[in-house]
Amino acid sequence: MQIRDRIKELRRVKASDLLPNPKNWRTHPLAQQDALKGLLAEIGYADALIARETSDGLMLVDGHLRRETTPDSVVPVLVLDINEAEADKMLATLDPLAAMAEADTEALRKLVSGISTTDENIQSLLTSVLEANDAIMLDIEPPETFPEIDENIETSFRCPKCDYEWG
Domains of the chain: 7-99 (3.90.1530.10), 102-136 (no CATH)
Query: Assign residue 152 a region: left if phi > 0, alpha if psi is -120 to 50, beta otherwise?
Result: alpha
State how far the Cα of 35 lies from the Cα of 125, in Å rounded to an integer: 7
**Given pLDDT bands bounded at 50, 70 and 90, which one contains residue 74?**
very high
Nearest to 125 by CA among 106, 144, 140, 112: 112
Strands of the 57-62 sheet, one edge to the other: 7-14, 74-80, 49-54, 57-62
State how far the Cα of 140 lies from the Cα of 142, in Å rounded to an integer: 6
CA 41 to chain centre: 20
3-state helix, strand, coil in the chain (%, to 5): 40, 20, 40
At residue 162, the pLDDT reads: 75
**Residue 134 confidence (pLDDT) above 90:** no
**Residue 145 confidence (pLDDT) above 90:** no
**Residue 152 confidence (pLDDT) above 80:** no
At residue 48, the pLDDT reads: 98
**Given pLDDT bands bounded at 50, 70 and 90, which one contains residue 22?**
very high
What average pLDDT does range 135-152 have in this prediction? 65
Nearest to 87 by CA among 1, 4, 6: 6
**Residue 16 confidence (pLDDT) above 80:** yes
State how far the Cα of 84 lies from the Cα of 111, in Å rounded to an integer: 38
Helices (H), 26-83: 30-42, 64-69
Q: Which has more pLDDT, 21 or 159?
A: 21
At residue 137, the pLDDT reads: 59
Q: Which has more pLDDT, 71 or 128?
A: 71
**Given pLDDT bands bounded at 50, 70 and 90, which one contains residue 135?**
low
**Given pLDDT bands bounded at 50, 70 and 90, which one contains residue 52?**
very high
Can you state the angle between helices 120-137 and 30-42, rounded to 10 degrees? Answer: 120
Query: Assign residue 137 a region: left if phi > 0, alpha if psi is -120 to 50, beta otherwise?
Result: alpha
At residue 70, the pLDDT reads: 98
At residue 131, the pLDDT reads: 87
